[in-house]
Structures are given as structure tokens and as C-alpha cells.
């Protein structure tokens, strides 16, 4: 009889203990939920769309960037620059554009520069905005033909339109011209550099240079004299000099 009473009391105490634990669990969950709601209420601390545009400065040495896409629409012409070869390589390798990437749209109307639109990516910039509003880590800014921040038109408060437009391109890393970057031929850059070097080298005056054809058995320059070498003049001399200089330039560039 005593054993039966003791057993019943033990079960009753166990039931109270479980109930207390359940009540404590419920209380913890309620507190946690309140903390979440409180945190969610602070979402008003997120920045307004476009408020971080001041972080974007006009890109230095824009002309040294790579024009990877162009558009023509009526009297409007646009050149799209990226500031680094590494950005193009990343996209073509299926990777994310790196922090520090700057994309610049140079807009012309009837042959006159009208504006510059710049989007720049920096790690942490996206955290200024709510998850539903951010466009990755990109910030945007509009500049006048004088390369000053545009206060009206596309710029100013209207800069938010850039965010709205690019927000629809999440699958393309928030870019409207990602496909063009994927298809861009990086070899064009090297060819262009070589072409420019050829042009500058061809402009070198060679009148005061001396070029001679030396016999194959002549190994020491001190043995060379006018009788044992044939001077080369005219176009042949200029061509030889330019070819030698071009080879020297290419070797220095590749090294």
C-alpha cells in the first residue's frame, strides 16, 4: 500500500516537472519572438533607396577602362566601360564580379556627351538597405558632362530609378549588359595595344640612325669597318628599326 502511494506521488511530481518545463519552453519562445518583432521594428533604420549614391565617385582614368559594349538607339549612343580586365575574366569563368568593379555608361545624344551613369560594387554596401530592396552590393550615381554629381534629371532623388531597374536583373548580377561581357573578346585588348605601339613606333624619326648589314663571320663589333659592312638606307632602314623596336616593346610588355 505504501509502495503504491509513493509510486503515485512520484508520478504526480514528474507530471508537474514536465508541465513546468513545457511552460518554461513556451515562455522562452514567446520572449524570443518578442525580440524578433523588436528587431523587425527597427527595420526603419535601413537607408532609403539611393541614399548611398554619394559613396560612388567619378571613376579615375575612365579612358583606360575597357569598352565591352556599345548601344545605338536613334540619336543616342552609349559606351559601357568596366574598370578592370579581372572583372571580365571573372564573368567569363562563371564567377561573381569582384568587389571594386566599376561599370560606367557614357551617354551621347547627337554626338555630344550627355551624362555618365556609374555603378560600383563594394563589399558591405548592400547592408545599408533592407533585404527586399538591395541590389547586391551595388551603388549608383549619375554625373554631368563636366563629371560632377547630377542634381536633377537622372540624378538627385531620381537616382532611385537606377536601383529599381537593376533590381530586376538579380540573375545577371544586377547588370543589364552581362551577356556582352561574357562574349567580349579579351584578345581585342592586346591587339589594340600592339596596334597603338606600332603607330607610335612608326612615328619615330630614323634619319639619324645607322643600320648596316654585317657579314655572318663578324662576331666582334670592334672588327666592323666601312669596307666590311654595307650601310642600309631609305625605307628598308626605317622598317628594320621599327621591327626591332616593336619586338623590344612586346618583350617588355609580356615580361
- pLDDT, tens digit, for every residue of 108-122? 999 999 999 999 999
Cα atoms in the 13 Å half-sphere on the side-chain side of 45: 7
Residue 1 grid coordinates: 500500500
Give residue 41's pLDDT. Answer: 29
129-186: per-residue pLDDT in tens?
998 889 999 999 999 999 999 999 999 888 988 998 999 999 999 999 999 999 999 9
36-89: per-residue pLDDT in tens?
333 332 445 888 888 899 999 999 999 999 999 999 999 999 999 999 999 999
pTM: 0.59
- In this prediction, residue 92 has a pLDDT band, given cuts at 50, 70 and 90, of very high
3-state secondary structure the chain: CHHHHHHHHHHHHHHHHHHHHHHHHHHHHHHHHHHHHHHHHHHHHCCCCCCCHHHCCCCCCHHHCEEEEEEEECCEEEEEEECCHHHHHHHHCCCCCCCCCEEEEEEEECCEEEEEEEEEECCCHHHHCCCCCCCCCEEEEEECCCCCECCCCCCHHHHHHHHHHHHCCHHHCCCCCHHHHHHCCCHHHHHHHHHHHHHHHHCCCCCCCCEEEECCCCCCHHHCCCCCEEEECHHHHHHHHHHHHHHHHHHHHHC
Give residue 111's pLDDT. Answer: 94
17-49: per-residue pLDDT in tens?
433 344 444 333 333 333 333 333 244 588 888
Average pLDDT over residues 194-220: 54
Residue 144 grid coordinates: 554631368
Q: How large a percentage of the chain has pLDDT more than 70?
A: 58
Amino acid at each position: 500500500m505504501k509502495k503504491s502511494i509513493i509510486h503515485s506521488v512520484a508520478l504526480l511530481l514528474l507530471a508537474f516537472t514536465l508541465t513546468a518545463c513545457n511552460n518554461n519552453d513556451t515562455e522562452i519562445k514567446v520572449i524570443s519572438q518578442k525580440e524578433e518583432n523588436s528587431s523587425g521594428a527597427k527595420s526603419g533604420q535601413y537607408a532609403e533607396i539611393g541614399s548611398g549614391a554619394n559613396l560612388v565617385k567619378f571613376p579615375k582614368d575612365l579612358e583606360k577602362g575597357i569598352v565591352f559594349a556599345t548601344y545605338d538607339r536613334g540619336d543616342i549612343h552609349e559606351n559601357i566601360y568596366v574598370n578592370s580586365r579581372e572583372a571580365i575574366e571573372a564573368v567569363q569563368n562563371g564567377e561573381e564580379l569582384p568587389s571594386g568593379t566599376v561599370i560606367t555608361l557614357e551617354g551621347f545624344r547627337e554626338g555630344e556627351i550627355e551624362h555618365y551613369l556609374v555603378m560600383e560594387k563594394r563589399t558591405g554596401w548592400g547592408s545599408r538597405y533592407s533585404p527586399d530592396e538591395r541590389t547586391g552590393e551595388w551603388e549608383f550615381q549619375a554625373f554631368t558632362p563636366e563629371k560632377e554629381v547630377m542634381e536633377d534629371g537622372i540624378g538627385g532623388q531620381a537616382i532611385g530609378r537606377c536601383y529599381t531597374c537593376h533590381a530586376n536583373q538579380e540573375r545577371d548580377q544586377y547588370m543589364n549588359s552581362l551577356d556582352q561581357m561574357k562574349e567580349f573578346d579579351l584578345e581585342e585588348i592586346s591587339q589594340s595595344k600592339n596596334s597603338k605601339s606600332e603607330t607610335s613606333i612608326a612615328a619615330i624619326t630614323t634619319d639619324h640612325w645607322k643600320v648596316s648589314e654585317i657579314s655572318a663571320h663578324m662576331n666582334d663589333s670592334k672588327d666592323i669597318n666601312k669596307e666590311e659592312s654595307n650601310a642600309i638606307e631609305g625605307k628598308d632602314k626605317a622598317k628594320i628599326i621599327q621591327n626591332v623596336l616593336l619586338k623590344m616593346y612586346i618583350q617588355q610588355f609580356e615580361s
